[in-house]
Amino acid sequence: MKKYITTPIYYVNDVPHIGHAYTTIIADAAARYFRLRGFDTFFLTGTDEHGQKIEEAAKKRGKSPQEYADEISAKFRKLWDEFEISYDKFIRTTDPDHIKGVQKAFEIMYNKGDIYKGTYEGHYCISCESFFPESQLIDNEFCPDCGKQTSIVKEESYFFKLSKYQDKLLELYANEEKFVLPKSKKNEVIRFVQGGLQDLSITRTSFSWGIPLPKSINDPKHVMYVWLDALLNYVTALGYGTDEALMHYWPADYHLVGKDILRFHAVYWPAFLMSLELPMPKHIATHGWWTRNGEKMSKSKGNVIDPKVVADAYGLENFRYFLLREVPFGQDGDFSQKALIDRINNDLGNDLGNLLNRIIGMSGKYFDYTIDSKDVKKLHKKELEETKTIIETLPPLIEDMKWHRFLEELWKILTIANKAIDYHMPWAKMKEGKEDEAMALIALVANILAKTAILLHPVMPKTTQKIAQSLGFSITQESFTHFIEHNNLLEKFTIPKTPPLFPKIEAPLLQEAKKEAPQQKTPKTQEEGVITIEDFFKVSIKVGTIKEAEEVPKSKKLLKLLVDLGEEKPRQIIAGIKEFYTPQDLIGEQVCVVANLKPAKLMGYLSEGMVLAARDEEGLTLIGPKTRKKEGTPVK
């Protein structure tokens, strides 16, 4: 059993930021999880170092491209090492073996007839290293991805026959339901390919910092386009084109990518692989972006987050937990110190750390810190079954990269433990002389905490190892099998006194950048579209859970939803979201619903409300609570 997990190789035009850390920590948690389950796991990360942008950045700093790439690549590797990222290989696109592998791939595709020579003329964005047809530009000149001005480039180029693979790509998406995760992102890819694929320019002659073409082609003025070079790292890292010693790990199980590079990974990369006759990766797992206090991060605003600064202030493992718990995978997330402090104080301090404190306190007071599980199965069958049921739901959540849901569900077993203490009251049992029952209750809680620590280990490896050692065991593949897969319990052990794992944070630990006071504007008395607060309060928005979803026949846009708003029966809502979600994506998802909208008929179906969504050029996303709420909870 093997697993191959990759991050993108990060472009060395800048130092690492929170987005890089987010991708890498997700991949690291996944690698640790699969290793814990006994998979032979290979985890790849690295840096992308060629291209015009690097050549220009190096020139501005008075360095050679290689010197500049060496400097920035070292910063990425240093940070991942300080973050104890468990990568198996750190690849650089300047590595000799990578260069040989890319040249070998180019030669194969060229000899197959999938690469041909021509002339390219079009708009090119240096920042994104991408060509764009004029129809995709903003105001006919600005890049649709980054907004920067493009340049018109006319030069000789080699082209990859991307158009040849359009139908095969659509067939791939149709056959592999989870090729792109989350599944809602796959719809964006399908629409892009259905819009028609143009052959891809894959070489440049206007700069020299790139991989030269194979000597057999004898065209030394060309270097390879950065995306062809970069994407092939996933196989050259395994020895493709050289010794191929690690190629048994291919295909990749998970390519972790940000949404801005989804097209390259879900369209160009599979087409290259089809040309090379290599198997397809199993999942392109695509996450959103991080904002700060609701604003997009940028150097000009001074709000870019240095992950090292945050981790040093709040603790690396707390930071890891926050990143994976705070945001549903695939959606954009907002970073604020308040949100981070809330997670540390409440989730980690009150729910997790306090449970260990309660075990230590009760075992010390009643049993001289010795805990024995001999009566747990007899006296707490209900709680054990509830815990087992939750644990059985967790693997599919990780396999779909739904880390926020995984942690949300895992925390439910901590709730079982805390409720058991309050319900069974071991202090009362001791007064009644029922020492065996008090012991069984404390042992139940210790076992729930042990299972939680094992499952949380990929996210917080050092913290959970401390918890495990307090409970008399170590977290290993063997203990995962023993306690999680075989559902065994702790043996008799003595628990040591342990300092609090999560000291309460009373105030932000980092200074926030001062915001400039907004300029005062003269209010308009009758501004078009403005409503009063009284008008706003007439709208009733409630949280609902989607119980059923199906397509509306003969409609390209509509889905019929049954949404539970905590009322006597679910509401039927007709929503124009079919282009972005499949019915199976939606079951169990929580959404915000305008609950007092006058019912209307759409395509002959009664719609009793409206789900809220946000839409931009990246697509449409349903609006829902960050954490699960009771059906019918009002949005205020």
Nearest alpha carbon to residue 571 among 580, 560, 581: 560
Burial of 487 (0-12, 13-18, 19+ CB in 10 A): middle
Ligand-binding annotation for 592, yes or no, is no
Assigned token pair, 281: 């990766």
Strand ranges of the sheet holding 295-296, from the earlier edge strand across to the other edge: 295-296, 290-292, 333-335
Rounded CA-CA distance 28/43 in Å is 8
User: What are the two backbone dihedrals, phi and then psi, of residue 145, each rounded to the nearest 5 degrees?
Assistant: -90, -45
Assigned token pair, 373: 């599980």
Rounded CA-CA distance 410/454 in Å is 11
Length reported for the chain:
636
Strand ranges of the sheet holding 284-287, from the earlier edge strand across to the other edge: 89-92, 40-48, 2-11, 254-258, 284-287, 180-181
The gap between the terminal CA atoms of the chain, to the nearest Å, is: 49
- Strand 115-125 and strand 541-551: the pairing is unpaired
Rounded CA-CA distance 50/556 in Å is 43
Cis peptide before 182 (omega within 30 of 0): yes
The CB-based long-range contact list for 426-433 (8 Å cut-off, 24+ gap) reads: 426/362, 426/366, 427/362, 430/366
Rounded CA-CA distance 374/380 in Å is 11
CB 401 within 8 A of CB 285: yes
Cis peptide before 281 (omega within 30 of 0): no
Q: For 634, which DSSP code?
A: B
CB count within 10 Å of CB 608 equals 18
Give the CA distances from residue 435 to residues 306, 371, 418, 429, 447, in Å, rounded to whole numbers and listed in that order: 52, 12, 19, 6, 18
Assigned token pair, 224: 């390879």
Nearest alpha carbon to residue 563 among 529, 585, 535, 591: 591
Ligand-binding annotation for 146, yes or no, is yes
Question: What is the sign of the dihedral through the CA atoms of 361, 365, 366 and 371?
Answer: positive
Specify the 3-state DSSP secondary structure of 202. Answer: coil
Rounded CA-CA distance 439/334 in Å is 44
- Name the region of 293 (left: φ>0; alpha: ψ -120 to 50; beta: rest): left
Structural element, H or E, at residue 19:
helix 18-36
Specify the 3-state DSSP secondary structure of 351. Answer: helix
- CB under 8 Å to 255, separation ≥6 — which residues? 6, 8, 234, 265, 269, 281, 283, 284, 285
CB 455 within 8 A of CB 461: no
Nearest alpha carbon to residue 570 among 609, 599, 513: 609
Q: Which amino acid is at 141?
A: E
CB count within 10 Å of CB 572 equals 16
Q: Can you say which residues are annotated as belonging to the binding site?
A: 125, 128, 143, 146
Q: Can you say which residues are annotated as belonging to the binding site for Zn(2+)?
A: 125, 128, 143, 146
